Amino acid sequence: MLKSALIFLVLGLTSCQHLEKNNGEKKDLKVSAFWIQDTLKEPNVGYRKINRFAPILYKDLIIVANGLEGLVAYDILDKSKKWSIAIPKGVEAPGAVINSRLFIGGLNGVFYSIDLDTAKIVWEFDTRSEVVAEPLIQDGHVFFVSGSNILYCLDATNGRQIWVYNRQDTSAQMTIRGGAKPSYSAGQIYQGFSDGSLVSLNAKTGTPNWEVLLNRNTKFKDIDASAVIDGDTIYINSYDDKLYAVSKSTGSILWKSDFGGATPPLVFSDRLVYSSSKGHLMVVTKKAGELIWKVSNLQGISTEPIAHKGLIVVGESQGAVLFYDLMNGQLKSTFDPGRGVLGRLTTDKNKRVYFISGEANVYGLMVEYTNKNSNFSFIE
């Protein structure tokens, strides 16, 4: 198997719209940074690491990780550093929190359970392969896929292995760096793999229920996006290929839409919002994948879209954080942190936006409407 490729190139409408990124920008939305913090102890003068961690808001802390040193927690009010945990080779993928426990994988091949109240490591599990995918916590178990295409199920209390599903890709196919967060529904785990397959497994035993080969792309077959489950339908993005709608019960393909990507779609009402590896942000219908509007010319790969105050917000891997009107795809505002954004955006109860930049700086953004007569449709 070849080494993974570092590919980070980085509701009322009745007709399809195709917009360029800068068309229709209006200045009635103000975005400003109120929180900026460098997460590195020392300047990184060597090879720039990948930072895809999603900031975690826990009590009065903001917790972030970078791809060089590990975890660090700051007081969200005064920005003072509260604690740090060194993880050899750093952390690239987002973590998962339940109660006071953080579950996270390191680039050193070790998966960790960390107590956020004491900043102590509770247990470790050695995968012998770097972990570059976000975990899922479900019914006292933690599920995650390693860089070797192995899906693990561990006891979340003590780290004991419950089962393992090994799907190593032995072909010479190049793969995209990353991995999909497992999804859960009605006792089944749904997992995409780098060989282009989506597999349904029994969550208790790891026994496969069904599998379907989605991505037949001759260059990159990876499914690095988590499956989004809506009723009996699974929506899943496949890198450099298609967005698929799949039957949850049988695995049969219901429809597929042009362009694929590395992040999961956002489900809103009767629509899906998703980004592609070709620099598009699109809104399609859930029923058939028909295009409603599309924005082109995003710089590199855009992050997982989030809904925020009537807006769709995404980050560009080689550009800025972009704020689009959900209804028509008009660009309302931008914020450029420098060196792009790869990690998922996080929002707090006050609807502020947090993210880590490609330079390993964590930002907090305030989003304000400057025109009280703005006709935005607010979504929560």
pTM: 0.89
Predicted confidence at residue 246, as pLDDT, reads 98
Asked whether the beta carbons of 317 and 299 are under 8 A apart, the reply is yes
To 5 degrees, how large is the angle CA 178–CA 191–CA 217? 65
Structure token pair of residue 8: 């980070």
Q: What sign results for the dihedral spanned by CA atoms 11, 343, 135, 166?
A: positive
Question: Would you say residue 172 has pLDDT above 80?
Answer: no
- Beta sheet of 161-166, edge-to-edge order: 136-138, 141-145, 150-155, 161-166
Q: Which domains does the chain have, with CATH numbers?
A: 1-48+270-380 (2.40.10.480)
End-to-end CA distance of the chain: 44
At 99-133, the pLDDT tens digits run: 999 999 999 999 999 999 999 999 999 999 999 99
**174 SS3 class:** coil
User: By percentage, how much of the chain surpasses pLDDT 90?
Assistant: 72
Q: Residue 299 — very low, low, confident or very high, per pLDDT cuts 50/70/90? A: very high
At 200-233, the pLDDT tens digits run: 999 999 999 999 999 887 677 889 999 999 999 9
Looking at the DSSP bridge assignments, the partners of residue 63 are 56, 73
At 38-58, the pLDDT tens digits run: 999 877 656 667 899 999 999
* Gyration radius from the chain CA atoms: 20
Q: Residue 35 — very low, low, confident or very high, per pLDDT cuts 50/70/90? A: very high
At 55-111, the pLDDT tens digits run: 999 999 999 999 999 999 999 999 999 999 999 999 999 999 999 999 999 999 999
Averaged confidence pLDDT in the chain? 87
Name the helix (H) or strand (E) containing 47.
Answer: none
**223 SS3 class:** coil
Asked whether the beta carbons of 127 and 86 are under 8 A apart, the reply is no
